[in-house]
Amino acid sequence: MAPSISSTTIANGEDSVLTEIAAVGNGIKTHSQPPYAVLDQPLGTKRHVRIICIGAGASGINMAYQTKNFLQDVDLVIYEKNPQIGGTWYENRYPGCKCDIPSHNYQFTWEPNPNWSQVFSPSEEIEEYLEHCVKKHGLSRYIRCSHRVVGAVWNNEKSIWGLQIENTESKVVHEDWCGFLLNAGGILNNWKWPDIPGLHSFGGNLIHSANWPESANLKGKTVAVIGNGSTGIQIVPAIQPEVKELVHLIRSPTWVTPGAASRYPSLGGAEMPDIFSEKQKEIFRTDDTTYTAFRKQVEREINSKFRMLVNGGELAEKARKNAYESMITLLGERAADLGHKIIPDFAVGCRRITPGVGYLESFSKPNVRVVTGTSIKRIEPNGLVMSDGELIEVDVLICATGFDVSFAPRFPIIGRNGVSLADTWGEPKVARAYLSLAVPEFPNFFMFLGPNAPISHGSVFTITEYVSKYIMQLITKAQVEMIKTIHVKQQAVDDFSAHVDSFMPRTAWGGNCRSWFKRGHADGPVTGVHPGSRVHWFHAMERPKFEDFDYEYLNGNRFQYLGNGFSTREEPGCDSTWYLDEMAPRFLYY
């Protein structure tokens, strides 16, 4: 359990390091403002800021790369709770763990990888790719592994975030501070056990899929798998060949669409292969034009999928028809007894779509039993007692039952006026944010993949790149314009939430199905996905709507940044006539 942190821990000035850094490094006056004076510096001068990022998964690694290449006069520290980088792809090591996005699009735009082995890469390969990115681009200097953030409090007097950091090896807690706090801890990161009576009385091997032990041995054992989300769908076919008996417990129907992979293009217009040959990889390595065209074609296919999620459309009906026929075919001899139990009556996409290669086929194997129509009443030392009274005895119980999807942080994050983010978002409240990245009452705090991010739209790698560019524009604005705090307006969040709630009934996401998009509920507000297509999101995130934020200035006057009448763009070596060049859309930095 994380140690508690008081909102007065930093504010009372007891920590000498924070007090000194806040007074000197941040340049923030805590007494009455002096008379206005012109700064003897040119327009465009950037003040130094300190940034702390939580998490060294894909979002944190990308933030390190973008900071190194595009931000100036900043310090960045990334605290990662695990002993290695990688986030999801370090933590998830269960059998069959793969990405469900085509490999060649599940990568950073700044580090293309022509060597992916499979269409859907296994977790080990993605972890290796992330480690390669860190090593090649010299990003490890920003990252502190085995350091877990256990508390964060906004100091309104000094306009900084005070943090408590635990060294997970020594258990020593130290304090740090930053001007801007970024949470890249991930959306599906805080795993939880299912709420089943007697769960921990089980006498066999109890495993959660998100905390898979390296010592797990399933060979020749009777194993139960609870859950048919994307994780359970991957585990079942992966372990079926080695276990004595596999009991798979399904609570709700879900769409399984392995045939979707065949729509992705490959070389010469052929279907996408499951495994890439050395010949194909060599072409990708040596012919950048072909490789880029291939990636773009796959990306177009991914981007086109949103149209099938719009209710009442021709593509939605076609997707449902194709998915139904595919599932019936793959169930084979089990279609007669299982088809009506596991094929949904809700739209394709209401729950997260998963390829599920080999999953439905495994139901016909002689050592597999699929249990539907009855729920687990309780767990006993030797097995599961079902609602119909049957005792199913097992040696190993695997819970592929997911995560806390409330978005509430696992450690205290305390904003202005003592407001807790956990209290703001925790059940039964609904997590609300501005374009998935900002929350009122939490100044200088931004998130990656917060509420209503496009998490189900395609690769998160390019998504997180756009979030970082958005955040960097805000930070750069603060550096140049002498802004000490940026905080999103409550009305902006309210307006965005009203749009989300009005839009979602148009889509499959708003359908009547139990989904983590709706915090594990069958109905209610959709908090897990963006209200629009993937392209729609990229378009909306090109440049911040600066008017949706309130600003506090270091010395009170919003124009003090104009300085001494000169500009950094007329300094030696600069092109002081840039305005004569043809205008082109770009991310705008000072």
Output the furthest CA–CA distance in the chain (Å, rounded).
Answer: 84
* DSSP line for 298-367: HHHHHHHGGGGGBTT-HHHHHHHHHHHHHHHHHHGGGHHHHHHHHS-SSPTTSSPPB--TTHHHHTTSTT
Closest to 245 (Cα-Cα) out of 368, 334, 363, 365: 368
- On the question of a common fold for 49-188+407-553 and 199-255+312-346+348-399, the answer reads yes
Structure token digits, residue 570: 């007329």
Tell me which residue has tokens 């490959």: 266
The CATH class that applies to domain 49-188+407-553 reads alpha beta
* DSSP line for 485-518: EEEE-HHHHHHHHHHHHHHGGGBGGGSSS-BGGG
C-alpha 286/C-alpha 267 separation (Å) is 14
Contact 452, 528 (CB under 8 A): yes
C-alpha 579/C-alpha 202 separation (Å) is 71
C-alpha 96/C-alpha 94 separation (Å) is 6
| Bond into 428 cis (ω within 30) | yes
Structure token digits, residue 229: 């989300």
Cβ-proximal residues to 383 (8 Å cutoff; 6+ apart), any chain: 202, 224, 391, 392, 393, 394
The per-residue pLDDT for 543 is 92
Q: Please tell me the number of Cα atoms within 13 Å of 273 on its side-chain side.
A: 12
Contact 107, 113 (CB under 8 A): yes
C-alpha 34/C-alpha 118 separation (Å) is 63
The CATH architecture to which 199-255+312-346+348-399 belongs is 3-Layer(bba) Sandwich (3.50)
- For the chain, the structural domain boundaries read 49-188+407-553, 199-255+312-346+348-399
Tell me 146's DSSP state: T
* DSSP line for 10-62: TTT---HHHHHHHHHTS----SPPPPP---SS-BTPPPPEEEEEE--SHHHHH
The per-residue pLDDT for 261 is 47
C-alpha 315/C-alpha 312 separation (Å) is 8
C-alpha 30/C-alpha 519 separation (Å) is 42
pLDDT-flagged residues of the chain (< 50): 1-31, 261-262, 266-269, 587-588
The per-residue pLDDT for 43 is 96
The per-residue pLDDT for 483 is 97
3-state secondary structure 224-261: EEECCCHHHHHHHHHHCCCCCEEEEECCCCCCECHHHH
Q: Which residues pair with 383 in a beta bridge?
A: 380, 393
